Chain A
Amino acid sequence: MPNRTFFWFILPTLTTMILFIALPIVSVFIQSLHIEHEQVILVSESCDPFGCTETTSVDTEATEKLRREQPLGRFNGLGTYINRSHLAFEEVREAWGATDTMGAFFSRILNLPFYKALAFTLTYTFVVTPFVLVLGLAIAVGINNLPKLVKGPTIFVSLLPMIVTPLVGSLILFWMVDGDGIIGATLQRIYDDNALSLKASPALTWIMLIVYGVWHILPFSFIVFYAGLQTVPRETLESAMIDGATKWQRIIHVIVPHLMPIVIFVTLILLMDNFRVFEPIVGFSAEAHAQSLSWIIFKDLRESANPLYSSAGATSMMTILGVAILLTPVLIRTWRDFRRRSP
């Protein structure tokens, strides 16, 4: 296709992507380098026979004016990145000096907001993803063995947890595991402990969110695997059977290698989607014990009256960096494929 024609065809979609995805990233970056204005302080001296006292007061009008004229704030360089609520260099150094064991060091680090969120996001991503891959493959094999008549309805029911709005899905589960809900109340009766609540301890909260994550994304993985199973060559399977391979051996040595490209594709999508975990924390109201990177950005922006643009910007930039790191292997691979195809 000639360049000219290509240009006109791609123009609308490229314009929206540049205006609303690429430029916002630039805008986020600029925001992260600035910080909100400090309040303008008025110093007034009042003297009486016993001496002079200085009183300070906030000049609301001047502050308003300054904020209106320069909504971005004042330049702060990388200051926001290294302050306490982000990378917290000072606190980390202090903790390193003050603690003797690695365990104590990490438990201090994990109390800092950014590291806390990072820890949860990574744990969530790297626990949910393998679980979903393995369970997805197992269920796909199971569905493949079902009689044709029940396959359709099975897939219909299975699609629901994935298709449902994440916030709605997490609410539906939350109401069941809540203290008064069917599962929560039953657990309380089993353990004979009326105060037992899944929201009470960090570990239980994390498990609850991870279970939700698996429930939500599992259909995607097994439906893709199920479709992949349809393309496994029959001849290879049959010759493996003739060679005396058991069903289990056939799965390990024939089906899994055949599905490998699909596994990579699914892993990529799962990593991308799990890394942005956000809605379940709102749905389960789990923010006391589990915060993700997306959630702390949301919280900064929701800060009533004065959204913390610089703080949100800094976290956003580091999140984008995280996504880029996750994606690098895939991008390199695709680039090599492309080079090989068109020398």
Chain B
Amino acid sequence: MATRAESRISPLVVISTALVAVWLVIAAFPFIWTLWGSFKVQGDFFSKADWRNALYGVHTIQETGNASTGAGYQGAWVQEEFYRAAMNTSIVVFFTVVISLTIGTLGGFALARSGKRYAFWILMAALVFRAMPHITLVSGYLLPFFEWNIWGILPTTIVVLVAINQPFTLWMLHSFFLNIPREMDESAMVDGCTRFQAFRYVIIPVMWPGVITTGLFSFLLAYNDFAVTSMLLSEQNETMIPKIASFLGTTQVEGNVMFAVAAVVSATAPLFMLVLFFQRQIVSGLTTGAVKG
């Protein structure tokens, strides 16, 4: 219950609410603007004369007879074959999430149940690994991968992304398993289960909330990655993000910036859906470890 003193309107409340309002505009406007503009022609979205052209689509009507056009999407998806990149992204993301959750769950569980010193050191090493810029690792991969002839294919990228994902996955699942009472698997072991059976029959049924939250962040890391995918994939295996980057070089010259705009909106849509459905898990994932100390 809020007391009267708390709900009184003070300058602080006014200022902080105004700040939130300003932030909301800054956060949302670029997305709305780009989504709306992606259905216009370049002359409208990049209009030097009058920004309102993008609202009403003056040039779009002149060029296509309609106030909005799907030409950008058509160009990106059909002409530039963005669907290939989308397919590659789904393959990479799916396998990265599944593999890194599988091995991360086992490792995180072991770390949470072992009080030994080496478990602590593994966690510390994971923290250092988590901090490393991905591109520094990529410079170590290239030469060996070329030598072994495994550069450019999807499985290599998946394995690399799984590895880069592990430190984060371990930390998150470790702190999640710490919250599952030790007594649960210990009582199963008293009843005659082996450690793995206890994990299989007692822990797995209750671990899904934590695993889903961790999975969301693995998804984001794999989906959003640019450093690894742009360096390790050959052109026909490119995923969406490097594909968009390569659009920048080619389409800008040919005057097809709208292809890139459409591709950017297409790549943002799945993330939008993700936040829509999993907002609570994302928020709880961000705060794991922070609030509990």
Bound form: Cα–Cα A158–B264 in Å: 19
Instruction: Give the residue of A163, A178, A186, A326 whose beta carbon is less than 8 angstroms from that of B220.
Output: A163
**Are A142 and B17 CB-contacts (below 8 A) given A14-B122, A16-B103?**
yes
Give chain B interface residues in 273-293, CB to chain A under 8 Å.
274-276, 279, 282-283, 286-287, 289-291, 293
Q: Is the CB of A279 within 8 A of B114?
A: no
Interface membership of chain B positions 8-25, coded 1 if the CB is closer than 8 angstroms to chain A and 0 otherwise: 001011001111100110
Give the interface centre of A27, A172, A293, A307 by most chain B CB atoms within 10 Å: A172
Give the interface centre of B47, B135, B275 by most chain A CB atoms within 10 Å: B135
**Are A160 and B264 CB-contacts (below 8 A) given A13-B103, A323-B132, A324-B128?**
no
| Contacting residues, chain A, for B195 (C-beta < 8 A) | 1, 5, 9
Q: Is the CB of B139 within 8 A of A167?
A: no
Q: Is the CB of A1 within 8 A of B113?
A: yes
Q: Is the CB of B132 within 8 A of A21?
A: yes
Q: Does B98 contact A (CB under 8 A)?
A: no
Bound form: Cα–Cα A1–B115 in Å: 8
Q: Is the CB of A138 within 8 A of B19?
A: yes
Q: Is the CB of B163 within 8 A of A21?
A: yes
Q: How far is the CB of A169 from chain B (nearest CB, A)?
A: 8
Bound form: Cα–Cα A165–B195 in Å: 40
Bound form: Cα–Cα A24–B132 in Å: 12
Bound form: Cα–Cα A19–B26 in Å: 42
| Contacting residues, chain B, for A103 (C-beta < 8 A) | none
Residue of A nearest to B12 (CB): A247
Q: Does B94 contact A (CB under 8 A)?
A: no
Q: Is the CB of A146 within 8 A of B51?
A: no
Q: Is the CB of B16 within 8 A of A1?
A: no
| Contacting residues, chain A, for B10 (C-beta < 8 A) | 247
Residue of B nearest to A171 (CB): B264
Q: Is the CB of B226 within 8 A of A182?
A: no
Total interface residues on B, using CB and 8 Å?
A: 105
Q: Is the CB of B163 within 8 A of A28?
A: no
Instruction: Give the residue of B114, B132, B275 whose beta carbon is less than 8 angstroms from that of A160.
Output: B275
Bound form: Cα–Cα A188–B272 in Å: 33
Bound form: Cα–Cα A101–B111 in Å: 55
Instruction: Give the residue of B147, B274, B287 whose beta carbon is less than 8 angstroms from that of A71.
Output: B147
Residue of A nearest to B275 (CB): A159
**Are A6 and B110 CB-contacts (below 8 A) given A297-B136, A319-B136, A338-B120?**
yes
**Are A185 and B113 CB-contacts (below 8 A) given A167-B244, A293-B133, A294-B133?**
no
Q: How far is the CB of A86 from chain B (nearest CB, A)?
A: 14
Q: Is the CB of B244 within 8 A of A171?
A: yes
Q: Tell me the number of A-to-B contacts counted with CB atoms below 8 Å.
A: 295
Q: Is the CB of B220 within 8 A of A160?
A: no
Q: How far is the CB of A334 from chain B (nearest CB, A)?
A: 7
Instruction: Give the residue of A12, A160, A172 whose beta carbon is less than 8 angstroms from that of B272.
Output: A160
| Contacting residues, chain A, for B126 (C-beta < 8 A) | 17
Residue of B nearest to A138 (CB): B19
| Contacting residues, chain B, for A31 (C-beta < 8 A) | 139-140, 143
Q: Is the CB of A24 within 8 A of B133?
A: no
Interface membership of chain A positions 250-275, coded 1 if the CB is closer than 8 angstroms to chain B and 0 otherwise: 01000000000110011000001001
Q: Is the CB of B137 within 8 A of A25?
A: yes
Binds A, one of B28-36, B59-67, B73-81: B28-36
Size bracket of the A interface: 35 or more
Q: Is the CB of A172 within 8 A of B30?
A: yes
Q: How far is the CB of A74 from chain B (nearest CB, A)?
A: 15
Q: Is the CB of B110 within 8 A of A175?
A: no
| Contacting residues, chain B, for A176 (C-beta < 8 A) | 30, 33-34
Give the interface centre of A146, A247, A266, A317 by most chain B CB atoms within 10 Å: A247
Residue of B nearest to A302 (CB): B231
Bound form: Cα–Cα A171–B249 in Å: 13
Q: Is the CB of A72 within 8 A of B143?
A: yes
Bound form: Cα–Cα A19–B141 in Å: 10
Q: Is the CB of B27 within 8 A of A219?
A: yes
| Contacting residues, chain B, for A160 (C-beta < 8 A) | 27-28, 31, 271-272, 275
Instruction: Give the residue of A10, A27, A261 whose beta carbon is less than 8 angstroms from that of B111.
Output: A10
Q: Does B69 contact A (CB under 8 A)?
A: no
Q: How far is the CB of A317 from chain B (nearest CB, A)?
A: 8
Interface membership of chain A positions 212-245, coded 1 if the CB is closer than 8 angstroms to chain B and 0 otherwise: 0001001110011001100100000000010000
Q: Does A126 contact B (CB under 8 A)?
A: no
Q: Is the CB of B271 within 8 A of A164?
A: yes
Bound form: Cα–Cα A142–B10 in Å: 12
Q: Is the CB of B51 within 8 A of A215?
A: no
Q: Is the CB of B286 within 8 A of A276?
A: no
Q: Does A78 contact B (CB under 8 A)?
A: no
29 cross-chain CB contacts under 8 A: A17-B126, A17-B167, A20-B159, A21-B167, A27-B143, A28-B136, A31-B143, A146-B17, A155-B283, A156-B279, A158-B27, A160-B272, A165-B267, A175-B37, A176-B30, A179-B48, A224-B287, A228-B290, A247-B10, A251-B12, A272-B130, A276-B132, A278-B227, A282-B245, A309-B139, A326-B131, A327-B127, A330-B127, A342-B117
Interface pairs A-B: 4 shortest CB-CB? A24-B140, A20-B163, A142-B16, A9-B110
B→A interface (CB under 8 Å) = 5, 10, 12-13, 16-20, 23-24, 26-28, 30-31, 33-34, 37, 45-48, 51, 54, 102-104, 106-107, 109-111, 113-117, 119-120, 122, 124-144, 146-147, 159-160, 162-164, 166-167, 169-170, 195-196, 220, 223-224, 226-227, 231, 241, 244-245, 248, 257, 260-261, 264, 267-268, 271-272, 274-276, 279, 282-283, 286-287, 289-291, 293
Name 20 extra pairs, CB < 8 A, besides A16-B166, A27-B141.
Answer: A13-B106, A17-B126, A20-B137, A21-B164, A71-B143, A141-B12, A154-B20, A155-B283, A172-B30, A182-B33, A220-B286, A224-B290, A276-B132, A285-B248, A297-B136, A316-B140, A320-B136, A323-B133, A331-B128, A335-B124
